[in-house]
Amino acid sequence: MRTPSQWQESIRPGFQVFAKGGTEEFGAVRDVCPGGRQELQVFIENGGDHCLPVDAILDVHDDKVIVDVARLAPDLRSAIARAHDAEARGL
């Protein structure tokens, strides 16, 4: 298993971000370790920019970042849950 520092080296702005087990991205990476902090700045759809701790990352592959939502603060989990609320259903 890769370490957080190895993930940081491979993650780039624009990578899509998914919840573990999710089939639809909830956001995209804007910045990696801004200001040297151990987090990703992520734009969450319908919720704006948020910082996710790198210890929530489970895997990085194919320009995708997979995170364990259970490791995130309640406000982040709530923003992720609402990521697709503004989309028209059934289209």
Name the DSSP class of 85: T
Would you say 67 and 52 are in contact if contact means Cβ atoms under 8 Å apart? yes
pLDDT at 37: 84
Beta bridge partners of 66: 18, 59
What pTM did the predictor assign?
A: 0.83
The tokens of 74 are what?
């309640």
Would you say 26 and 19 are in contact if contact means Cβ atoms under 8 Å apart? yes
CA-based Rg of the chain, rounded to a whole angstrom? 13
Q: Which amino acid is at 2?
A: R
**Domains of the chain by range and CATH?**
4-80 (3.90.50.10)
**Predicted confidence band at 4 (pLDDT cuts at 50, 70, 90)?**
low
Q: What's the pLDDT tens digit per position in 15-62? A: 999 999 988 999 999 999 878 888 999 999 888 999 999 999 999 999
